Homo-oligomer: A and B are copies of this chain.
Amino acid sequence: AEPVCTADFAALAQRELPAEVWDFIAGGSGAELTMAANRAALDRIALVPRMPAGLAHCTTRAPLLGAPAALPLAVAPMAYQQLLHPDGESATARATTAAGVPFTLSMLSTRPVEEITALGARTWFQLYWLRDAGATEELARRAEAAGCEALVVTVDEPRIGRRLRDLRNGFALPTSVAAAHLDTAGTRRSRQRQAGVSAVAEHTAEAFAPGLSWDDLARLRESSGLPLVVKGVLDPRDVARAAEIGAQAVVVSNHGGRQLDGAAASVDLLAAASAAAPAHCQVLLDSGIRGGDDVLKALALGADGVLLGRPVLWGLAADGERGVRRVLDLLAAELRCALELAGCADPAAARALTVLGARPVDGPGTTGGAR
Contact = CB atoms under 8 A, between A and B. Distances in A.
Interface of A: 1-2, 4-5, 30-31, 33-34, 37, 43, 45-56, 58, 155-156, 158-159, 161-162, 164, 167-168, 195-196, 210-217, 232-235, 237-238, 254, 259-265, 268-271, 274-275, 277, 291, 293-294, 296-297, 299-303, 333-334, 337-338, 340-343, 350-361, 363-371
Nearest to A198: B4
Contacts of A158: 51-53, 55, 340-341, 343
A212 B58 CA distance: 13
B47 A340 contact: no
A171 to B, nearest CB: 12
- Count copies of this chain in the complex: 4
Point out which of A58, A354, A361 has the most chain B C-beta atoms below 10 A from its C-beta.
Answer: A354
Contact of A370 (B155, B262, B351): B351
Contacts of A47: 260, 262-264
Contacts of A358: 365-367
Given A37-B46, A54-B216, A159-B337, 11 more contacts: A30-B334, A33-B293, A47-B260, A47-B263, A51-B234, A52-B213, A54-B214, A162-B333, A260-B338, A260-B341, A275-B371
A87 to B, nearest CB: 25
Contacts of A58: 210
B30 A291 contact: yes
Contact of A164 (B5, B30, B259, B277): B5
Contacts of A268: 46, 356
Contacts of A271: 367, 369
24 contacts: A2-B196, A33-B293, A46-B264, A47-B260, A49-B156, A51-B235, A53-B213, A54-B213, A54-B214, A54-B215, A55-B158, A156-B341, A162-B337, A262-B296, A262-B297, A264-B356, A268-B356, A300-B368, A302-B371, A351-B371, A354-B368, A356-B359, A356-B365, A360-B367
Contact of A235 (B156, B196, B354, B361): B354
Given A54-B214, A162-B337, A260 B49 contact: yes
Contacts of A50: 235, 237-238
Contacts of A162: 4, 333-334, 337
B351 A356 contact: no
A360 B364 contact: yes
B5 A293 contact: no
A160 to B, nearest CB: 9
Given A262-B46, A262-B293, A264-B46, A368 B355 contact: yes
A368 B271 CA distance: 8
A211 B352 contact: no
Nearest to A261: B293
Point out which of A268, A356, A360 has the most chain B C-beta atoms below 10 A from its C-beta.
Answer: A356
Contact of A55 (B31, B167, B210, B356): B210
A270 B369 CA distance: 9
Given A30-B293, A365-B360, A366-B355, A51 B156 contact: yes
A255 to B, nearest CB: 9
A54 B210 CA distance: 7
Given A30-B5, A300-B369, A354-B235, A155 B51 contact: yes
Contacts of A364: 360, 363-364
